[in-house]
Amino acid sequence: MQRKFLKNLALLLVLNLLIKPFWIFGIDRTVQNTVGAEEYGFYFAIFNFSFLFYILLDFGITTFNNKNIAQNNHLLRKHLSNIIVLKLLLFIVYLIFTFFAAFIIKYSKEQLYLLAFLGLNQFIISFILYLRSNLGGLHLFRTDSFISVLDRSMMIFICALLLWGNIVPTFKIEYFVYAQTVSLSLTALITMIIVFRKADTQFLKLSWSMPFFLMMLRQSFPFAILVLLMTFYNRIDSVMLERMLDEGAMYSGIYASAYRLLDAANMIAYLFAVLLLPIFARMLKQNESIEELIKLSYTLIITSAIIIAVASFFYSEEFMRLLYSIHEGESIIEYEYRIMHSSRVFGILMASFCAISTMYIFSTLLTANSKLKYLNFIALTGMIVNISLNLILIPLYQAFGSAIATLATQFLIAGVQVFVVYKLFKFRINYRLIFKILVFITGVLILGYFSKHTKLDWYIAFPLFVIFSLLLALSIRLVSLRYIYSVLKYGEKH
């Protein structure tokens, strides 16, 4: 399984690193620079608000289905049509709750209009993820890898035409949302055709079965609670910023400019979870040892996370100036304030990537083993801590306060998850690995400090910092190329 994991992880990483960085830095960033921080902050807050009730669209079905199909391939054809009908019913429920909440917090007509399209987009995303969970459950990782970048590829093409093709006189944030709708719809259609072929089903025959709906909702309910709690403590920040502050849209935009890079890094960490969930589920069912796979996947992801976090801390202002230019009508003083605030937020937010990477490994293992009660309790604690810290820190420190709340919450949750996994699975504490990680963190911090204070230009010092950090990881054998090569060539038993 380690061999399968490494080979498919390599494919996933290559495809995503080809497409998604250009989407984030070439398209998404350009959109914010074009429309301005305030208008993008307006969109970003509504986008995150549309996420708050995302659980009603999915109800944990995707995660449960991924695990279930991985252990019982024959259930795909039996469940497919019923779950599609159930997803449509959940979409109606989602719209009712989302718009009711929007009326409660007094969203304007413009906000409600944008929310309608973003809500539709959330449904299509949830539908695509459900369809992909079938591909992952069947261990069709190669097909799933190409599907994972299909919507972004289409959005790059459409948005590039709108931004640089002189098709529209002025680019508006609404066009960005419309492009998402078109791209996601086409991706859903293509993915559905592929899944139908794998299920040996030639056409869509919808089935209405209330007993099946109730059974599915009952079994997926613990997964639903987990997704709901995680969504709240991951997405509530920008909504609270926009609602609590007088210039909330601006600060939400500042937070979004820093969060964009954390979101990009999270996409890479998420790929680990996408592969590991069905692999863990099958290995646990077959009573295979998972300890070596845990060690391999964690060392790969934490090495990258530490380098990214330290680089982001020392080079936060350089990254923000590189990515974000002065907006039309914005004064130099306003621009400098925005960059200064974004840099502080960015440095703190990216430090939380180490905790998030840890969670992607250990929470995936707990999910595959159906230990949802532990994950739900941890997530509930995290949500309470995050909202409480935001209520205290946002009035005092604006977006920077929200970043501190995120950092504290993510490290708390990651630490508790690691503790629970070691207790439940009775893993031996790997003191050598812990020592290597501590040595690596210390070494990377030293390298970051000296690279920052060298007389070299930052665009030379930064790559040198990354190279020397990777060499440090290899020299202390935190990452072993020989072991990885052995697994790829011979499998884990050699």
pLDDT at 465: 94
Query: Does residue 105 form part of some domain?
Result: yes
* pTM (two decimals): 0.73
Query: Does residue 490 form part of some domain?
Result: no
Q: CB of 466 within 8 A of CB of 303?
A: no
Whether residue 311 is predicted with pLDDT greater than 60 in this model: the reply is yes
Q: Which amino acid is at 37?
A: A
Residue 426 sits at φ, ψ, to 5 deg, of 55, 40
Query: Does residue 455 form part of some domain?
Result: no
Question: Pick the residue with more confidence: 448 or 169?
Answer: 448
Dump pLDDT digits (tens) for 34-75: 887 778 878 878 888 887 787 788 777 887 777 777 777 666
In the predicted model, what is the mean pLDDT of residues 346-371?
Answer: 89
pLDDT at 74: 67
Exposure of 194 in the CB half-sphere (CA atoms within 13 A): 21
Query: Does residue 453 form part of some domain?
Result: no
430: left (phi over 0), alpha (psi -120 to 50) or beta: beta
Task: Classify residue 158 by burial, with Cβ atoms within 10 Å: 0-12, 13-18, 19+.
Answer: buried
287: left (phi over 0), alpha (psi -120 to 50) or beta: left
For residue 408, what are its two tokens? Answer: 């504290």
Round to whole Å and give the CA distance between 226 and 223. 5
Q: Closest Cα to residue 134, out of 222, 208, 204, 64?
A: 64
Query: Does residue 468 form part of some domain?
Result: no
DSSP state of 168: S
Dump pLDDT digits (tens) for 285-305: 888 888 888 888 889 899 999
Chain centre distance of CA 355: 13
Range in 180-184, 424-428, 477-481 with the lowest mean pLDDT: 477-481
- Domain span including residue 293: 2-428
DSSP state of 247: T
Residue 100 — very low, low, confident or very high, per pLDDT cuts 50/70/90? Answer: very high
pLDDT at 493: 47
Query: Does residue 434 form part of some domain?
Result: no
Query: How many structural domains are present in the chain?
Result: 1
Give, to the nearest 10 degrees, the angle between helix 210-244 and helix 248-285.
150
Chain centre distance of CA 321: 24
Residue 412 — very low, low, confident or very high, per pLDDT cuts 50/70/90? Answer: very high
**Which of 44-53, 202-211, 393-402 reaches the highest mean pLDDT?**
393-402
Residue 99 — very low, low, confident or very high, per pLDDT cuts 50/70/90? Answer: very high
Chain position carrying tokens 């409480």: 388
Round to whole Å and give the CA distance between 121 and 125. 6
Round to whole Å and give the CA distance between 339 and 334. 9
Question: Pick the residue with more confidence: 107 or 120?
Answer: 120
Query: Does residue 492 form part of some domain?
Result: no
Range in 105-114, 253-262, 418-427, 465-474 with the lowest mean pLDDT: 253-262
Query: Does residue 464 form part of some domain?
Result: no
For residue 449, what are its two tokens? Answer: 């400090």
Question: Pick the residue with more confidence: 437 or 222?
Answer: 437
Round to whole Å and give the CA distance between 469 and 169. 46
